Amino acid sequence: MDLLFKAYSNTSDDEPEPEPDPEPKPVNHHHLPFRPSKRPKSEYLFPTLDLQKREEAPLPGRYISKRERALAGAVSQAHEPNPIHQDHHVINQSVLGSISELDLPHDVLSSMRHKPKGRAQLSQIPGKLSVALHGHAKAVNAVHWSPTHVHLLASAGMDQTICIWNVWSRGQKKARVFSFHNAAVKDVKWSQQGSFVLSCGYDCSSRLIDVEKGLESLIFRDDQVVGVIKFHPDDSNLFLSGGSKGRLRLWDVRTGKVVHEYIRGLGPILDVEFSTDGKQFVSSSDVSGCNISENSIIVWDISRQVPLSNEVRDIFLHHLVSIAEIFMVYAEAYTCPCVRYHPFDPYFVAQSNGNYIAIFSSKPPFKLDKYKRYESHGVSGFPIKCNFSLDGEKLASGSSDGSIYLYNSRSSVLVKKIKAYEEACVDIAFHPILSNVIASCSWNGDVSVFE
């Protein structure tokens, strides 16, 4: 740093130096060491004017003329209201590799370009480890494929970082590392356009990040630890968040404000999931601290802010603001860390700490299927997630024993078990195009891709 300081502060030039001013000069922040823990963060969208000029860093040891130093100082002062942009190290440190698909092998790129998306592509069963991705220092809580740049995978870790992986790159696979959160990151989701990732965590915030530029675009401050986030399936400007105080909030990324709040006096929100038509969502919360020991699974009407169903011991009707609520029979003594809607059929599933996945109808009265469920894997207190394949034929679940369990979604029969890690396998994500590819993450910090 001394060498850099001397290089950047070289005062020799063809012109004589002016007399020193009696007033202290403003500090050029480009000379200061990077201190991420004290870096202030803006709560508003960042201006992009002259962004390229501000991101360019002088080469170490290069002669800096007085004119260049004066221009650099003027730019720094002009952008004083947005101090997060003053330090070019924020961007340089996050970029480790390319996010371009041009770095992919030809066969992988060809497969992704020529295979159809969605239900037309029948899912196949992954068989072996394809890519091992090492980079998180602690447990990884979530993984999510980009829906548009399908060679990119995002992961959220307890080490306070979000990693963007160029999975099949022939070069550096860890393309970006974002350290905008100052506590563990609980969840990460790609935007529908695939240009941004949304993350949330223990620092009581959700953050929208421009992946290509490496910039934090917006911060959504909350009064609770935010454990889960989910974009609305039909409106990419809206996302739902749930947190440790049981508060469910619908946010608008255009304003950074809460559009709706869903209040029911719940315990910590463990998961949320939109229905396929986007008109409803289901939430899972832990109410084990209350007199009733059941976990609460509630189906909400997104527009009316009124719950359509709630799980208790008996079926009865209750009226709130003249709108009927139907309560389901589901005496469950375990929390459910994950809920997922089937992509086509009228049901959703709930991962239970009782070491099984329960099945519910997604139509009123939202009844539990008492005769069928997915079993054999373990949960054992871990936040184990599950996911359906795009064609809806397979259901994959992580497990506390470090394995991936693949089920036939219709029959609930276990099709295959893949030993992936020595510690718990936490999350599972089917590739949006390649039906035989699945990503997973573990409690020991590893991210893996199987095919």
Whether 322 shows a pLDDT value over 70: the answer reads: no
Q: What is the pLDDT of residue 120?
A: 45
CA 443 to chain centre: 16
Q: Which tokens is 65 given?
A: 């003329």
Fold of 339-450: Methylamine Dehydrogenase; Chain H (2.130.10)
Residue written as token pair 């997104």: 302
Amino acid making up residue 97: G
What residues contact residue 91 under an 8 Å CB cut-off, 6+ apart? 55, 213, 214, 215
Q: pLDDT: is 92 or 153 the higher one?
A: 153
**With bands split at pLDDT 50, 70 and 90, how would you rate the model's confidence at 296?**
confident
Q: What is the pLDDT of residue 351?
A: 95
Q: What is the pLDDT of residue 356?
A: 96
Q: What is the pLDDT of residue 332?
A: 54
Residues pairing with 306 in the sheet: 301
Q: What is the pLDDT of residue 31?
A: 39
Question: Whole-model pTM?
Answer: 0.75
Is residue 125 within 8 Å of residue 437, measured between CB atoms? no
Q: What is the pLDDT of residue 425?
A: 98
Other Cβ atoms closer than 10 A to 129 = 13
pLDDT digits (tens, 9 = 90+) for 75-127: 333 333 333 333 333 444 588 889 988 888 777 777 777 666 545 455 677 77
Which of 5-14, 124-133, 146-155 tops mean pLDDT?
Answer: 146-155
* Bond preceding residue 18 cis, omega within 30 of 0: no
pLDDT digits (tens, 9 = 90+) for 4-42: 334 334 443 344 444 444 444 444 433 333 344 444 443
Q: What is the pLDDT of residue 16?
A: 42
- How large a percentage of the chain has pLDDT more than 70? 69
pLDDT digits (tens, 9 = 90+) for 171-183: 899 999 999 999 9
The gap between the terminal CA atoms of the chain, to the nearest Å, is 46
Is residue 202 within 8 Å of residue 184, measured between CB atoms? yes
Whether 60 shows a pLDDT value over 90: the answer reads: no
- How large a percentage of the chain has pLDDT more than 90? 57
Q: What is the pLDDT of residue 289?
A: 62
**With bands split at pLDDT 50, 70 and 90, how would you rate the model's confidence at 287?**
confident
